[in-house]
Amino acid sequence: MQPLRTLELLLKSERLANRSHLQYYSRAMSSTKTIRLGKSGLQVTRIGFGGIPIQRLNQQQSIRVLQRALEGGLNWIDTAYDYGNSEDRVGKAIKKYSRSDVLVFTKGTGRDPKTLREQIELSLLRLQTEYIDLYQFHLVSDREKWQTMQDNGTFDLLREYRDKGKIRHIGASAHTREAALAVIEHPEIEVLQYPFNFIVEEEGLELIGAARKRDIGFIAMKPFGGGALEDASACIRFLLSVPDIVTDPGFEHIEEVDEVLYLWKEGAPLSTDNHRTIERLRKSLGTRFCRRCGYCSPCPHGVQIITLMTMENLMQRFPVDRLSEEWIAGAGTSVENCIECGECEEKCPYKLPIIEEIRRGADTLARALQPIN
Ligand code: SF4
Ligand code: SF4
């Protein structure tokens, strides 16, 4: 999350919304604090705790931030096997509560049963829990890979864990429309996690509608655009105004937790100021904000376009020592393969200047890695 407006400022600047902009969302204005997460049946607070940024804190700080959110009323945490020390910290933070008071969601990237089994077992250990409330196939990238996971027994493995009671519900996260649509076709998928905020409103609403039709719960990840959207009030109020979804912002500071708790409890509609902010950000970011829809990929020359396009956000979310990991550093060097054929730019529905942006992303990463290497 970027620097937030303080609570005092927020309270001072309150003005009621221009409701004409909100026709679509009028049904949501009941300021419901909790909802049923689709057919999982889980009753969740509309805001949960996203487990990425706590990796950057020391252990004590991360536990303090997590517990502040839970004591403020949030009832679920979303983390992942691949979020470094996050699961471990979640496990330590929730120990003092009754297990049934906190819903624990995690994810795994294993694409074969053996790898996924190892990940689940380690997640259970790190989280210090007998069961995981929602286990998600992490980052399903496309229809083909999704099919492979069903053919090679990976999905069966989650059924096995579900039957044993170690996993209560099954979901998936995806970053591209194609993968998300493939995932929600599966009758056993109960929850979809997908990036959604006011910059990507149009494409997100389409998926939310498709998930709703199948009674699949929808978790809006990246409510702050991975750090690109700086106004918590506009971001959270926008998401709370969309029916049937929940969101899981990541928190690093107690003040951020308090501000989001305030916005959630207040349940106010978007204010005039919020509308102005949204319009300004849509104008300034709309021309270069990568939605991760994946239409541009794969690059025939192996350039990791999407990682490079979102490099600045990645760098804000992950600790600096993780930037040298192969999947990030390798994406950085892949830019050298770009022959500027323009194929990706032709395919991008938002006409983003990909060639220029991927070079900018690679340069930014190279500068950040200099002191490490
Ligand atoms: S560059 Fe364009 S096509 Fe590629 S993921 Fe981003 S928004 Fe989608
Ligand atoms: S312009 Fe570069 S990144 Fe885009 S498709 Fe061609 S080689 Fe790949």
Q: Whose CA is nearest to atom 7 of ligand 2?
A: 338
326/69: higher pLDDT = 69
Q: Find the helix or strand (DSSP H, E) in which 367 lies.
A: helix 354-369
Would you say 298 and 278 are in contact if contact means Cβ atoms under 8 Å apart?
Answer: no
Spans of all domains in the chain: 24-282, 305-369
Per DSSP, which regions of 69-216 are E strands?
76-78, 103-108, 132-140, 167-174, 191-195
* Across 22-31, 48-57, 162-171, 289-298, least confident range: 22-31
Is the pLDDT reported for residue 56 higher than 60? yes
> Is the CB of 309 inside a 6 Å radius of any atom of ligand 2?
no
State the closest ligand 1 atom to the C-alpha of 293, by its place in the atom list counted from 1. 8
Topology classification of domain 24-282: TIM Barrel (3.20.20)
319/165: higher pLDDT = 165
Mutating to test ligand 2, I would choose from 299, 307, 356, 359 the residue with most ligand atoms within 8 A of its C-beta, which is 299
Residue 293 Cα to ligand 1 middle (Å): 5
Secondary structure (3-state) at 164: coil
Q: 173-182, 194-203, 352-361, 362-371 — which one is most confidently predicted on average?
A: 352-361
pLDDT at 226 (0 to 100): 67
Residue 259 Cα to ligand 1 middle (Å): 32
* Across 58-72, 81-95, 114-128, 197-211, least confident range: 197-211
pLDDT at 142 (0 to 100): 86
Q: Tell me: the pLDDT tens digits for 217-271?
A: 999 998 987 667 779 999 999 999 999 999 999 999 999 999 999 999 999 999 9
Beta carbons within 8 Å of 148's beta carbon, 6+ residues apart: 111, 154
Residue 236 Cα to ligand 1 middle (Å): 24
Is the pLDDT reported for residue 41 higher than 90? yes
| The residue type at 8 | E
Name the band, by pLDDT with cuts 50, 70 and 90, for residue 32: confident
Q: Whose CA is nearest to atom 6 of ligand 2?
A: 341
Q: Whose CA is nearest to atom 6 of ligand 1?
A: 290
pLDDT mean over 272-296? 85
Q: Whose CA is nearest to atom 8 of ligand 1?
A: 293
User: What DSSP state is assigned to residue 328?
Assistant: H
| Ordered strands of the 245-247 beta sheet | 49-50, 76-78, 103-108, 132-140, 167-174, 191-195, 217-221, 245-247
* Across 66-80, 174-188, 314-328, least confident range: 314-328
Token code pair at residue 42: 């889980």
Q: What is the mean pLDDT of the chain?
A: 88
Token code pair at residue 367: 């500068």
Residue 193 Cα to ligand 2 middle (Å): 29
pLDDT at 338 (0 to 100): 97
> Is the CB of 298 inside a 6 Å radius of any atom of ligand 2?
no
pLDDT mean over 328-348? 94
Residue 300 Cα to ligand 2 middle (Å): 7
Would you say 195 and 291 are in contact if contact means Cβ atoms under 8 Å apart?
Answer: yes
Is the pLDDT reported for residue 9 higher than 70? no
pLDDT at 290 (0 to 100): 87
Burial profile 158-178: b = 16 or more Cβ within 10 angstroms, e = fewer: beebbeeebbbbbbbbbbbbb
**Residues whose beta carbon lies within 6 Å of some atom of ligand 1:** 290-296, 305-306, 309, 348, 350, 352, 354
Which ligand has the nearest atom to the CA of 177?
Answer: 1
pLDDT at 372 (0 to 100): 54
Q: Whose CA is nearest to atom 2 of ligand 1?
A: 348
Name the band, by pLDDT with cuts 50, 70 and 90, for residue 282: confident
State the closest ligand 2 atom to the C-alpha of 335, by its place in the atom list counted from 1. 3
Q: Whose CA is nearest to atom 1 of ligand 1?
A: 290
Residue 243 Cα to ligand 1 middle (Å): 27
pLDDT mean over 104-122? 97
pLDDT at 17 (0 to 100): 34
Token code pair at residue 41: 């049946």
Residue 346 Cα to ligand 2 middle (Å): 10
Q: Whose CA is nearest to atom 2 of ligand 2?
A: 338
Secondary structure (3-state) at 45: strand
Name the band, by pLDDT with cuts 50, 70 and 90, for residue 4: very low
Q: Tell me: the pLDDT tens digits for 175-224?
A: 888 899 999 999 999 999 999 999 888 889 999 999 999 999 999 998 98
Mutating to test ligand 1, I would choose from 291, 312, 314, 345 the residue with most ligand atoms within 8 A of its C-beta, which is 291
Is the pLDDT reported for residue 25 higher than 50? no
> Is the CB of 279 inside a 6 Å radius of any atom of ligand 2?
no
